[in-house]
Amino acid sequence: MLSPLAAGISVGLGAAGLVGLAAGGFAYAARWPASRIFGRALIAPKRTGELALTFDDGPNPLWTPRLLEILAGHGVRATFFMVGRAAEQQPELVRRVAAAGHLIGVHSWSHPDLALASAAQVREELVRSRRALEEITGAQIRYFRPPFGARRPYVLRAAREMGLEPVLWNAMTSDWSEPSTDKIVGRLTGKIDRLEQRGWAANIVLHDGNHLDLAANRGPSVAAAEALMARYKGTHKFVTLDSWNL
């Protein structure tokens, strides 16, 4: 007998149906991007020794600057998928991220579940957030990660039609709700090491912000990022996602 999750995929319920079957904090996991049934997206290449740190839901006035210090201390460049609404409120911080050599991508304007949005709303979320980030940074924005990983074919198609490359991930844990840095690091290193054994680079998601609450504590996520840099610095190369999209 099919599990509810497998049944959801087989009858083509798509991301919204899968999430309806998933419990609370596991919504992200239910949209596990190993499946390409929702369309083409950049995840990671079959290549060992490379890691991409990516940060979603910022910029955040407290945690993003702290993260920038840590990244600079380790000489690591990362990718930030920003919420347009938060970026517009903190243009100086966005410029600091760009000036430090990190890659900036779009994470929508207001972080809705795009699997539930109309095609017009999807387009508006993408157009508005990309325009804001391009005006702030003066650079072209080329990457898009859908909020909650919601990747209906028309969401990814709309992004590609605008010249935005959809990006998913292959190493994530519920860092947004986990107060223990050790647990976040333990789960992520397990995933990274398993990907490595199978010959894959790791596209790692952590959160430097919270789309609903600028005061959310992202200390455990930021500390986890630092621990990953310390652990893999000697053996792995940290890259930004544009190096995988040649």
Give the residues lining the site for Zn ion (CB under 5 A). 56-57, 147
Exposure string for 19-44, b = 16+ CB within 10 A, e = fewer: beebeeeebbebbebeeeebeebbbb
Question: CA-CA distance, 117 to 31, in Å (whole number)?
Answer: 17
Closest CA to 62 of 170, 194, 243, 218: 218
**Annotation says 182 is catalytic:** no
**Annotation says 74 is catalytic:** no
Minimal distance, residue 226 CB to Zn ion, in Å: 21
Q: Which C-beta is closer to Zn ion: that of 158 or that of 205?
A: 205
Q: What is the distance of C-alpha 122 from the center of its chain? A: 18
Q: Which C-beta is closer to Zn ion: that of 81 or that of 238?
A: 81
Minimal distance, residue 107 CB to Zn ion, in Å: 6
Minimal distance, residue 83 CB to Zn ion, in Å: 7
Minimal distance, residue 181 CB to Zn ion, in Å: 20
* Angle between helix 91-99 and 119-137 (nearest 10): 70
| Residue 167, phi then psi, degrees to nearest 5 | -125, 135
Q: Which C-beta is closer to Zn ion: that of 28 or that of 154?
A: 28
Q: Which C-beta is closer to Zn ion: that of 48 or that of 110?
A: 110
Catalytic residue, from 102, 111, 207, 211: name it. Answer: 207
R_g of the chain, CA atoms, integer Å: 17
Indicate the SS3 state at residue 30.
helix
Residues with catalytic function: 56, 207
